[in-house]
Structure 1
Amino acid sequence: MNTSVKRLLLTVIGAPAAALAVWALAVPVAGTTLTARMGDSTQPVGPVLVVVTSLLAGLAGWGLLAVLERFASQPGRTWTIVALIVLALSLFGPIGNAVGIAATLVLLLLHLVVGAVLVLGLARR
């Protein structure tokens, strides 16, 4: 396995690991109740949801980067711009759907941590 593929795998696995670390500090350690509105009901944001969501985001980012590397003239730059736009748009989710200020702040932090790991890790390919 070459260095580039190892770095990609570490990045895609590192994003959920970083998100899980934030979740662990915020929920069990600090005692924050992480709940989000889902339609008419609310749903707790647990570790499985955090890991699966951030893993899917990493795989989607990796897939987009692979397509851009094949068809774009400046794939790294294009990917970084698209990733930052998607990250900025993703921040509206916690702002509009989190239940409480603490949950909003933790969910924003989760989005930013995952985004930072993916943008920095995948852009260096």
Structure 2
Amino acid sequence: MNTSAKRILCTVVGAPAAALAVWALAVPVAGTTLSVRMGAGTQQIGPGSVLVASLVAGLAGWALLAVLERFASRPARIWTITALAVCALSLLGPLGSAVGAAATLVLVLMHLVVGAVIVLGLARR
């Protein structure tokens, strides 16, 4: 496996691992209830949701980077700007739907941690 493939694998696996670490510290250890408003009710955010969402984000980031590397003249720059914009926009989710200040803080932190791992891990040096 070449260095680039190792970096991509570490990033795509590292983003969910980092998000699950935040979840584990916040929910079982600190006792925070992570719930969001969904339609007329609320939904608890469990480790499965955290794993799937962060894995999808990492795979989507990798896919976009692969497409840009094939077709764009400055793929790293375009990808980094796009990834940072998507990360910023993703914060609207927890800011608008989290139930309570603690849940909002933890969910925002999870979004930022996943975004940081993906942006730093996939950005070309």
Distance 2:106 2:61 in 1: 22
Q: CA deviation at 1:124?
A: 2.8
Using structure 2 for the length normalisation, give the TM-score: 0.98
Distance 2:74 2:31 in 1: 45
- Residue aligning to 2:75: 75
Distance 2:87 2:21 in 1: 19
Distance 1:123 1:87 in 2: 14
Q: CA deviation at 1:40?
A: 1.4
Distance 2:4 2:96 in 1: 37
- Residue aligning to 1:33: 33
Q: CA deviation at 1:24?
A: 0.2
- Residue aligning to 2:44: 44
Matches within 5 A, 1:1-125: 1-124=1-124
Structure 1 alignment gaps of length 5 or more: none
List per-residue Cα deviations over 1:52-91 (Å, max 9, x = no partner). Answer: 1000000000000000000111101110000000000000
List per-residue Cα deviations over 1:90-122 (Å, max 9, x = no partner). Answer: 000000000000000000000000000000000
* Equivalent residues, number: 125
Q: CA deviation at 1:17?
A: 0.1
* AA in 1 matched with 2:92: F
Structure 2 SS opposite 1:13? helix
Structure 1 SS opposite 2:32? coil
List per-residue Cα deviations over 1:1-26 (Å, max 9, x = no partner). Answer: 11100110110000000000000000
Distance 2:123 2:40 in 1: 38
Distance 1:37 1:9 in 2: 33
Using structure 1 for the length normalisation, give the TM-score: 0.98
Structure 1 SS opposite 2:84? helix
Q: CA deviation at 1:34?
A: 0.3
Q: CA deviation at 1:41?
A: 1.4
